[in-house]
With several copies, the nearest count.
Chain A
């Protein structure tokens, strides 16, 4: 163990040992991206996470020392260490940690050159700007603007920058003036080791809507199976659907054959009338 640290000065060794010790106390050890988080907000996020996760900023060289010492998948974490990364220690389900970090994110204005993670849409309507050079600035940023009733008005809703594209300086300036904040601020989980496995954001990011859709599909499948196979259930809704299906089948047969019986005679008349009408036309 000491082979990595014996040549380090005492305070550095202590720092490495503290990381290793923390890693031993928690089920989840990972790296978060703290890029662009103002100090005050960073403190706020740390307080919000109190009890569920600990964020620790440490020198990258020492973090790497610690990961090397821990071995196994921790060595893979080294590949995710960056100048904006910090350590995070937590317990429990890594998917839940990812979700809770996403939920603590807020938005900030974009800087020139940044890539927007979502479409930036500027809605049509009045602004609070008085007529002036702002009209030209808006137009240069691709936002159609005009003066209307002594105020600057945006003429139509416009997607200024598409998700995944860089925001140029003119756009960034105008968006800031419009108070549009497209950039998420908060801790982004870069990688986490949990029970000997490394988890990356592409796996950890759960699409809840997709799960909802699957539940709906499963419920639909169960209903279909119950009705189509006439499985007896304790659900009156299903029993009613089974009866309705049988009745419809009987009516369909009655009309198609046709079988002149009371329950279907009106439908047969209706069909004959419609056929006559179709032929008439």
Chain B
């Protein structure tokens, strides 16, 4: 999922999710970047409304153990 998190991070920074920005973030996290995966990610997200895609994702129900916290 790290490539997706990187894309979400770039997106939430208000930047365009392109190869350069994704690579920068992944590198900063200490991840050895796979160029072809970055390319594939950017291509897959091309034309995708990221806001809309993530807007439906609610958090999962809290487990009872956590609920007491």
- Judge if B28 is at the interface, Cβ distance under 8 Å: no
A224 with B57: in contact, given A95-B40, A250-B8 (CB under 8 Å)? yes
A-B pairs with beta carbons under 8 Å apart, 18 shown: A96-B42, A215-B8, A219-B54, A224-B58, A225-B50, A228-B52, A230-B44, A241-B59, A244-B59, A245-B1, A247-B53, A250-B5, A255-B59, A260-B41, A269-B8, A273-B54, A276-B4, A279-B48
Beyond contacts A206-B43, A245-B62: 12 other A-B pairs, Cβ-Cβ < 8 A, are A219-B54, A235-B1, A240-B53, A245-B58, A247-B57, A248-B60, A254-B1, A258-B4, A259-B4, A270-B60, A274-B59, A279-B53
Give the chain A neighbours of B63 by CB distance below 8 A. Answer: 266
- Judge if A128 is at the interface, Cβ distance under 8 Å: no
- The total of chain A residues at the interface (CB under 8 A) is 83
A232 with B44: in contact, given A254-B1, A258-B4, A279-B8 (CB under 8 Å)? yes
- Judge if A174 is at the interface, Cβ distance under 8 Å: no
Q: CA separation between A229 and B43, bound complex, in Å?
A: 10
Q: CA separation between A220 and B40, bound complex, in Å?
A: 21
> Is A222's CB under 8 angstroms from B1's CB?
yes
- The total of chain B residues at the interface (CB under 8 A) is 37
Q: Which of A49-57, A70-78, A195-203 contacts B (4 or more CB under 8 A)?
A: A195-203
- Judge if A45 is at the interface, Cβ distance under 8 Å: no
Bitwise interface map of B from 55 to 68 toward A, beta carbon under 8 Å scored 1, else 0: 11111111100101
Which chain A residue shows the least CB distance to B63? A266
A269 with B4: in contact, given A206-B40, A256-B48, A257-B45 (CB under 8 Å)? yes
Give the chain B neighbours of A276 by CB distance below 8 A. Answer: 1, 4-5, 8
- Judge if A163 is at the interface, Cβ distance under 8 Å: no
- Judge if A253 is at the interface, Cβ distance under 8 Å: yes
Q: Which of B3, B54, B62 contacts A224 (CB 8 A)?
A: B54
A160 to chain B, nearest CB (A): 31
Most central of B41, B63, B66 by chain A CB within 10 Å:
B41
- Judge if B35 is at the interface, Cβ distance under 8 Å: yes
B48 to chain A, nearest CB (A): 5
Q: CA separation between A34 and B44, bound complex, in Å?
A: 25
> Is B57's CB under 8 angstroms from A259's CB?
no
Which chain B residue shows the least CB distance to A206? B44
B69 to chain A, nearest CB (A): 5
Residues of A within 8 A of B (CB): 93-96, 98-99, 195, 197, 199, 203, 206-208, 211-280
A226 to chain B, nearest CB (A): 5
Q: CA separation between A268 and B4, bound complex, in Å?
A: 7
A274 with B58: in contact, given A243-B8, A263-B4, A279-B8 (CB under 8 Å)? yes
Give the chain A neighbours of B7 by CB distance below 8 A. Answer: 215, 225, 243, 253, 259, 279
A247 with B48: in contact, given A219-B54, A223-B58, A231-B41 (CB under 8 Å)? no
Bitwise interface map of B from 24 to 46 toward A, beta carbon under 8 Å scored 1, else 0: 00000000000111011111111
> Is B57's CB under 8 angstroms from A234's CB?
no
Q: Which of B35, B44, B61 contacts A265 (CB 8 A)?
A: B44
